[in-house]
Amino acid sequence: MLKGILSISGHSGLFKLVAESKNSIIVESLDTQKRMPVHSSAKVSALEDIAIYTYEGDTPLKDIFKAISDKEEGGAALTPKSSGKELKAYFSEVVPEYDDDRVYVSDIKKVLMWYNALQKKELLDFSEVEETEEVNNTEDTKDSEE
């Protein structure tokens, strides 16, 4: 679902990985569809590698996006421009176990901004997340029966 979607420090919005070369990668902006090279010195984060701190460990971003989608019935999330208090209240509804000491308002804004951008472009597909959950639930049922 989030494979190939990147956040690049110093650039607004999200990018799709198009190609790789020796010293750089070529990305395409999800907003403008313009392509540009990103050199190895740039700080690039793949959304599939990002997780949110929780009291039980870390929760992958795709699971956070799934929880937002479930809450909003597939619609857009709260605007990231809301007040810090509203953002924290919203995020605690979506991810009640998030670690509010280590997850800052700026992190919540980024997550909501990314979710809304991907939702608007219809790039959120939770079918693989649901399949994984079904496999895990089946394994749990087998374990409890033994």
The predicted pLDDT at position 21 comes to 87
Instruction: Give residue-wise pLDDT tens across range 23-45.
Output: 899 999 999 999 999 998 999 99
81 three-state secondary structure = coil
pLDDT at position 1: 75
20 within domain boundaries: yes
Same domain, 21 and 81: no
Query: pTM for the full model?
Result: 0.83
> Are 124 and 72 contained in the same domain?
yes
pLDDT in tens, 59-94: 999 999 999 999 999 999 999 999 999 999 999 999
36 and 93 housed in the same domain: no
The residue range of the domain holding 20 is 5-47
| Whether residue 128 sits in one domain with residue 60 | yes
Largest interatomic CA distance in the chain: 55
Cα distances from 6 to residues 11, 71, 143, in angstroms, run 11, 25, 38
Q: Which pLDDT does position 144 carry in this prediction?
A: 46
How far is the C-alpha of 94 from the C-alpha of 88, rounded, in Å? 10
